[in-house]
Amino acid sequence: MLDAAAYNPYLSPGTAPMFSYRHAFHAGNHADCLKHFILVALLRYMEQKDKPFSLIDTHAGAGAYGLDAGYAMKNSEWEGGIARLWQRTDLPPALADFVELVRGMNSSGKPTFYPGSPYIAHKLMREHDRLRLYEMHPTDVDLLGKTFQNAGRQVMVTRGDGYAGLKSLLPPPSRRALALIDPSYEDKRDYSQVVQTLKDSLTRFATGTYAVWYPLLPRPEAQRLPDRLHAIQAEWLDVRLQVSRAGPGMFGSGMFILNPPWTLRATLTECMPVLKDALAQDEGAGFQITTSDMAPVKREPFQHSRAKPAPRTR
């Protein structure tokens, strides 16, 4: 069993030139809430069959984060994310399930810790399921390794490129897999790599479920990404949450899911209006759910950016 307090919340600022992105700055923000609530829903669906599955997390981060110290305090992004859901008792079941998981790691009753995708996956998976984690940042992969050092064969932590890692693991032995592809997009090659990785993954394992997180940003690569994802010849669902008017920085994010569970659309249709209202920063907030078999299924005011590109933020 993972102990939330075992995660090191006091990360000292890293100086590695190649890896300036640290997810701890953004832990629990609106983008994490969208991504992690959907991850919980996907895992719940995977658990409905007894057959084991592999969860492959190509960009794992540090595993979990302290909110009251270190990087997370710098901009307190979680105040515009999980803090707004924390006290709610009226959430639809799938959102409540996610918030309950976060509450469960905070025995003090205050939001002190926030889970990363590895924590969520490990918490929800069964003994016979497998968790495969890839992370490039030396500090974060160290933390991951320490956290899962007693997890045995169920969890494998690899310092290395998650795109190549995913390729090497497909098809999985159990023929059931969920992959989370969650790059920082610090490197603009990520925009092409996610598309290429999805196409390649489908040739290796056509029935896997693949979830990609992406930012809503004015930079041209980000603006083009949804169309490139929608052109993939497979069943998909795309959900975008815009939290503010389009501006020079990140104004929301999306999750694109290849081979989504058939239940996901209904879950999102129920949850997204609530999530949008809870996380809205101004009147530009909106959401959009699109699927491969039809035009947008549900949409509330959604703007496209005309602002000038700015350096990437998350």
Ligand X SMILES: C[S@@+](CC[C@H](N)C(=O)[O-])C[C@H]1O[C@@H](n2cnc3c(N)ncnc32)[C@H](O)[C@@H]1O
Judged by the rule CB under 6 A, the positions of this chain that interact with ligand X are 19, 21, 23, 35, 57-61, 116-117, 134-137, 140, 161-163, 182-184
The CA-based dihedral angle spanning residues 49, 44, 136, 238, taken in that order and rounded to the nearest 10 degrees: 110
Question: Nearer Cβ to ligand X, position 134 or 210?
Answer: 134
Nearer to ligand X, 21 or 191 (CB): 21
Q: Which two tokens stand for residue 76?
A: 């307190």
Q: How far is the CB of 303 from ligand X (least distance, A)?
A: 24
Considering the complex, state which of residue 161 and residue 270 has its C-beta at the smaller distance from ligand X: 161
Beta strand ranges found along 59-143 (DSSP E)? 64-66, 113-115, 130-135
**Minimum distance from residue 293 beta carbon to ligand X (Å):** 28
Min CB(222)–ligand X separation in Å: 14
State the minimum distance, in angstroms, from the CB of residue 291 to ligand X. Answer: 24
SS3 296: strand
Tokens of 133: 């984690």
* Least separation in angstroms between CB 15 and ligand X: 14
SS3 31: helix
Question: Is the four-CA dihedral 224, 227, 229, 231 of positive or negative sign?
Answer: negative
Q: Which is nearer to ligand X, 237 or 250 (CB)?
A: 250
d(CA 161, CA 210): 17
| Identified catalytic residue from 32, 129, 140, 182 | 182
Nearer to ligand X, 129 or 302 (CB): 129
Using CB atoms, what's the residue nearest to ligand X?
116
What span, in angstroms and rounded, lies between the C-alpha atoms of 302 and 76? 26
The DSSP code for 23 is G
**Coil, strand or helix at 59:** coil
In whole angstroms, give the CA distance from residue 130 to residue 152. Answer: 10
Distance set, CA 26 to CA 15, 53, 79, 152, 253 (Å): 18, 29, 10, 30, 13
Query: Would residue 277 show up in a list of annotated catalytic residues for this protein?
Result: no
Give me the active site residues, please: 182
